[in-house]
Amino acid sequence: MGMTGHPPDVPLPESWRNRKVLAAALSDVVNDFDNNSGTWENTELPDYLAALSVLLMSIEHSYANNGLPTPDDPWVVIADAIKGARFYE
């Protein structure tokens, strides 16, 4: 399965504008793993992905438990889940 990319002469849909939030979160998680993996709950990829899956299915509760509104932007929600999966049980 190859990726073809986006034609440079075609504007991106508005819904794609905030994808940089997700890209930054991924970069932050990689850097955090390199520097602080000893503090992570889920240091093995299968454990991390399992936590990410469960967190994505209930992330609105994580926001509520922390007194935060659930963001409208799905890029932000996914970015938060990627960061949260480090510690989610």
Q: Give the tens place of pLDDT for each residue, 50-81.
A: 999 999 999 999 999 999 999 999 999 999 99
Helices of type H across 13-44: 19-36
pLDDT at residue 71, rounded to an integer: 94
Q: How many domains does the chain have?
A: 1
Could you tell me if residue 5 is inside a domain? no
Could you tell me if residue 70 is inside a domain? yes
Are 56 and 9 spatial neighbours (Cβ–Cβ below 8 Å)?
Answer: no
Cα–Cα distance between 6 and 12 in angstroms, integer?
Answer: 8
pTM of the model: 0.83
Q: Give the tens place of pLDDT for each residue, 10-61.
A: 887 877 778 899 999 999 999 999 999 999 999 999 999 999 999 999 999 9
Domain span holding position 58: 17-84
Residue type, 71: P
